[in-house]
Amino acid sequence: MQTLEKEKPVQSKRNRLVIVCSKGSLDMAYPPLMLATTAAAMGMEVHLYFTFWGMNMITKKTIDSLKISPVGNPAPPMPNILGMIPGMSSMVTSMMTKKMQKMKMPSIREMIATAKESGVKFHACSPSLNMMGLTKDDLVPEVDDIIGATTYHDLASEDAITLFV
């Protein structure tokens, strides 16, 4: 007698990660890069789509000077007023940067290089580029291409983990 085994439906794991990077602050630059690099190391296909303030993460002029806003993040144990003292944002940023160096955390420039080596794809948003008056030459060499929202949706719709940072 033959047993017709009902094939167990293969739980297809999603193997793609597509993150919109829309923030230009140092604290919101780390999470997408950390998630991207880890996913790439796991063998996933990873796409980062940089738009609005996120363009600062991939622009030569700004990549090394991203700052933490002590005012916009009421969570740190610091009264809002401190955010208003000139240079305070730089001071908090420098404090956090030193802490990160102690922990041997790479800089954003280094994280982008590592992500690229791991196979992460870097896409710059075309309208954002125009709005900011930038050209491809103003972007770091890791950027693969300049795409619009249509291409983003194509990437995101193929069963990907999607996040908006």
Q: What residues between 92 and 111 interact with its own copies by CB under 8 A?
A: 99-100, 103, 105
Shortest distance, CB of residue 56 to its own copies, whole angstroms?
4
Site string for its own copies, 109-128 (x = CB under 8 A): ------------------x-
DSSP string, the chain: ----PPPPPP-----EEEEEE---SHHHHHHHHHHHHHHHHTT-EEEEEE-GGGGGGTBTTTGGG----TTT---SSS-GGGGGSTTHHHHHHHHHHHHHHHTTPPPHHHHHHHHHHTT-EEEEEHHHHHHTT--GGGB-TT--EEE-HHHHHHHHHTT-EEEE-
Shortest distance, CB of residue 142 to its own copies, whole angstroms?
18
**How many CB atoms within 10 Å of residue 31?**
14
Shortest distance, CB of residue 5 to its own copies, whole angstroms?
15
Tokens of 49: 């789509």
Query: What's the N-to-C CA distance of the chain in angstroms?
Result: 57
Ranges within 48-77 binding its own copies (CB under 8 A): 51-53, 56, 62, 66-77
| Nearer CB in complex with its own copies: 19/112 | 19
Exactly one of 2, 4, 8, 87 binds its own copies (CB under 8 A); that residue is: 87
Q: Which residue stretch of 107-115, 116-124, 135-143, 156-164 sits at the interface with its own copies (rule: CB under 8 A)?
A: 156-164
| Nearer CB in complex with its own copies: 19/143 | 19
| Nearer CB in complex with its own copies: 15/144 | 15
Site string for its own copies, 126-145 (x = CB under 8 A): -x--xx--------------
